[in-house]
Amino acid sequence: MKSSANPELSLIAVLLAAAILLALASMVCGASTLGARDAVQWLSGSADASVDAIFRYIRLPRTLACLLVGSALAAAGLLLQTALNNPLASPGVIGVNAGSGLFVVAASILFPSVFWVRGLAALGGALAAALWVYALARRGGASRVTIILAGVAISSLLAAGMDAIVTLYPTAIMDRTAFFIGGFSSIYSGALLVALPFLLAGFLGAAFLAGRLDLLLLGDEVAASLGLHVERTRFLAILFAAALAAGAVSIAGLVGFVGLIVPHMVRRLTGGALRRSLPVTILLGGCLVLGCDLLARLLFAPYEVPAGILLSLIGAPFFLYLILNRRKHRYDTA
């Protein structure tokens, strides 16, 4: 009983070490031939201007972006899977993908030459869609099922809007495609700064919910009888998940499957309680995305595969595996 925290602590230490190693690798590998020696020179301040620019404006933002996006999507997935008690939940189910997609496409038509506006549009669209889904579900009692159904309905509505725009303005299709594949090849630090407050709020919120959200797994009645404000807790989980996912999509577009698979991997590793699984999920999410992006850069160097494609290639088989091995939801009437 007393030593139950130890396995997670060693897991956290291993993942932390992995994250640091991957981050170092991400700093010294890339399209240009700059390597470890240049990195050391850059750190000591004796690198020339072009080397400095590559490290400062390309590799550092990209490394940070991978870590942040991976952690945020994984944490958002964990919050949603727990709050909705649904192992297949990911940010997409609360309308985040469709909402940000619509806003990005609309922004690329309205402000075709202002490229940074797309990150803001993704952020706003994701948050607006999630809040709309919740507001709608609330009329039906905001139960797990109504939230998921409202998410499906709103997502298809927003997707129809996006398709309508693309039909009328075929030029928007390029932005749509880039956004939907997701990747880290054109990260700039401004996008990180805009997303950072949302990500921070989301991570803090997730930590706040860590001791509370698990109660929802006992069913709404038991959770309420234990003194939990069921509806508020579920709303906060959706709000924080939306903030995390919105921050992530504003940085890198739709990076698929991270939010879905990482919580499942962690569940196999730690089992159960959110307080134990949340830090592991955050670290593993960051490692996974950073590792995939590194592969995406190195596999066909100097050409790049978008990291989103690589993640889907890994994610889709895992998703199938999940469906085939899913334990049925069980209820006792005893």
Partner 1 sequence: MIQLDNLRVAFAGREVLAQVTAVFAPGSFTIIVGPNGAGKSTLLKAMAGIVPLAGGAVLYNGQPLHRMARTERARRVAFLPQTRPVPEMTALDLVRHGRYPHMGFSKTLSPRDHSAVDHAVAAADLAPLLGRSLATLSGGERQRAYLAMAIAQETEVLLLDEPSTHLDLHYQLELQHLLARLHTQGKTIIMVAQDLPQAFTFAQHICLMQQGRIVCHQPPPVVQQSGTLEQVFGFSLQPVPAGDGLLYQYSLAPADPPPPEETAY
Q: Which residues bind partner 1 (CB under 8 A)?
A: 1, 85, 210-212, 214-215, 217-219, 221-222, 224-229, 267, 271-273, 327, 329-334
Identify which of residues 56 and 229 has a Cβ nearer to partner 1 in the complex.
229
User: 130 CB contacts (<8 Å, ≥6 apart)?
Assistant: 94, 95, 96, 99, 238, 239, 241, 242, 245, 246
User: What is the nearest approach in angstroms of partner 1 to the Cβ of residue 219?
Assistant: 5
The Cα 256–Cα 308 span in angstroms is: 6
User: What is the nearest approach in angstroms of partner 1 to the Cβ of residue 282?
Assistant: 19
Identify which of residues 56 and 232 has a Cβ nearer to partner 1 in the complex.
232
In order of 73, 88, 109, the CA distances from 265 in angstroms are: 14, 13, 40
Identify which of residues 35 and 271 has a Cβ nearer to partner 1 in the complex.
271
User: What is the nearest approach in angstroms of partner 1 to the Cβ of residue 268?
Assistant: 11
Identify which of residues 81 and 108 has a Cβ nearer to partner 1 in the complex.
81
The Cα 156–Cα 186 span in angstroms is: 29
The Cα 58–Cα 67 span in angstroms is: 15
User: What is the nearest approach in angstroms of partner 1 to the Cβ of residue 54?
Assistant: 44
User: What is the nearest approach in angstroms of partner 1 to the Cβ of residue 211?
Assistant: 3
Residue 330, φ and ψ in degrees, nearest 5: -115, 145
User: What is the nearest approach in angstroms of partner 1 to the Cβ of residue 149?
Assistant: 19
User: What is the nearest approach in angstroms of partner 1 to the Cβ of residue 184?
Assistant: 33
In order of 79, 128, 196, 217, 267, the CA distances from 86 in angstroms are: 10, 23, 28, 10, 13
In order of 190, 285, 289, 317, the CA distances from 296 in angstroms are: 23, 16, 10, 18
Identify which of residues 168 and 334 has a Cβ nearer to partner 1 in the complex.
334
Query: Please, what's the b/e burial string for 157-185 (b: 16 or more CB within 10 A of its CB; e: otherwise)?
Result: ebbebbeebbeeeeebeebbebbbbbbbb
Closest CA to 203 of 71, 94, 90, 89: 71
> Exposed, middle or buried, 109 (CB in 10 Å: 0-12/13-18/19+)?
middle
User: What is the nearest approach in angstroms of partner 1 to the Cβ of residue 314?
Assistant: 24
Identify which of residues 157 and 275 has a Cβ nearer to partner 1 in the complex.
275
